[in-house]
Structure 1
Amino acid sequence: MTARFEPARLLEALFPLLIVIAAMVWAPLAQADLPGIPAFTVEPGAGEGQQEYSVTLQILALMTALTFLPAMLMMMTSFTRIIIVFSILRQALGLQSAPSNQILLGLALFLTIFIMKPVLEEANRVGLQPYLQEEMTSLEAVEAASEPFKKFMLAQTRESDLGLFMRMADEQFVSPEDVTFWVLLPAFVTSELKTAFQIGFILFIPFLIIDMVVASVLMAMGMMMLSPIIISLPFKIMLFVLVDGWALIMGTLAASYGL
């Protein structure tokens, strides 16, 4: 039976993460007592007083902070490592625009949802659902829902990177669980970049060997004017297809997160 793309299921998978990130942005703003600004005036009728409706600065600040939501979505999940590996793979194959950026981004997004599913389900269970059932306040829900993300990020962060940003922030913590998000987040992103480039280096080696062999053969045949890339490209694509490269890449990326 052919699988169908269901936007509702995608929104259902992303909803807990969007709620948690939006709540993390909203929590500091909710503690501030900000004044309101007039939005419009309503005059119900002659002889009656005016009714003024206000749009608070809290909502205005929240809508402005939501512009950082895509960056936070990428920086707190496995998206960074996946998209960098895909980009390096395309460069190693010698392809300029195939697969296109849209395809790579979509593939990276769905693979990110697959890898982050346990974290999203845990955040939904301990934070979002109790808040919707009015069993805890918004700040308590944010704190509870952020714990699964914090555990995920700590598990993927190198101690050297975490220590670097702790020294830069001039902060000391008794245990890794006490590390704040503002220190953990840049350390996590740095570790993700290192891991992505390590995987990319390993991917480059077999394709580099093919380029070197083709260049040597062409030089031995005296065909120095012919670009080796044109000749090696079909061989690299054939090798990638024969070893089931896409399955290997996705399996390696998922396994790198312990799945």
Structure 2
Amino acid sequence: MVSVQMLLFRVPAHLAFWIAVPSAAVPVLPDLGAKLHPGDSTPWTILFVLTAITLLPSLIMAVTPMVRLMVVFHFLRQALGTQTAPSNPTLLGLGLVMTWFLMQPVLVSVEQQAVTPYRNGEITGWEAIDRGSVPIKTFMLRYAREKDLALFTAAGQIPRPAKPEDLPLRAVIPAYMLSELKAGFVIGAVLYLPFLLIDMVTAAITTSIGMFQLPPVVVSTPLKILLFVMVDGWNLVTGSLLKSF
């Protein structure tokens, strides 16, 4: 059994070992204002990749047409009465592909104005973020309603800007999301009307001939699916959504 005296003599030795470690061995945090050089690119790459992975779902929904697309797809599935067909992963995959297709010009601008200069070490990380946000803000302002922009400008007590481009992202992003939600609900309501008409006609016919025990949805759902297939509905809906941007 180790005696108390031996422990008391060992404690200073351990402390002396830690004190003797040279200060140069302690890692130093990178300078956020420094430019990117080949020697210190790895920490920056890890930082941005982890941050992007964490915030990617929220960013996609906040600054892209994903909100409008998913709202329209949800209304369309409810109008058809198919419950889970197409499935959520299918609609999400279609929405992501269409979002990438619509945002490709914006992503090219971000690559040219921010990503490439940052990789070449011409600008710092913060400058790359500022430059990369300009094309995205321009895209959002193109579809954000003035009423929604005014709402968040007043709520944030932001001085009235000379032009919309002077608004900060904290006012542009929520205004853009509200505008996209409204546009999605408008398109979804228009899609819902013809299928609602089929439901009403089917219910009136089945009631008039005395088919009270047969739910009208059992008859109307195949009719709605058949009509949607005959008019090539997916092509029409996708084309209309693309043209809305």
TM-score category (smaller protein): 0.7 to 0.9
Q: Which has the larger radius of gyration?
A: 2
Aligned counterparts of 1:54 and 1:219: Cα–Cα separation in 2: 79
% same residue: 43
Does 2:187 correspond to 1:206?
A: no
| Runs of 5+ unmatched residues, structure 1 | 1-45
**TM-score if structure 2 supplies the norm length?**
0.80
Correspondence for 1:158:
145
**1:197-255 deviations in whole A, cap 9, x for unaligned?**
00000000000000001000001101112111110011100111111111111111111
Aligned counterparts of 2:28 and 2:191: Cα–Cα separation in 1: 53
Does 2:81 correspond to 1:100?
A: no
Aligned counterparts of 1:64 and 1:119: Cα–Cα separation in 2: 20
Structure 2 counterparts to residues 1-259 of structure 1, below 5 A: 50=21, 52=25, 54=27, 63=50, 67-171=54-158, 172-257=160-245
Correspondence for 2:7:
none
CA positional deviation for 1:72 = 1.4
Greater strand content? 1
Larger relative contact order (Cα-Cα within 8 Å, sequence gap ≥ 6): 2
CA positional deviation for 1:135 = 2.2
RMSD: 2.5
CA positional deviation for 1:64 = 7.0
Correspondence for 1:29:
none
**1:171-196 deviations in whole A, cap 9, x for unaligned?**
12121010000011110000000000
Greater helix content? 2
**TM-score if structure 1 supplies the norm length?**
0.76
Aligned counterparts of 2:105 and 2:194: Cα–Cα separation in 1: 34
Correspondence for 1:21:
none
Larger displacement relative to structure 2 (122-131 or 203-212)? 122-131
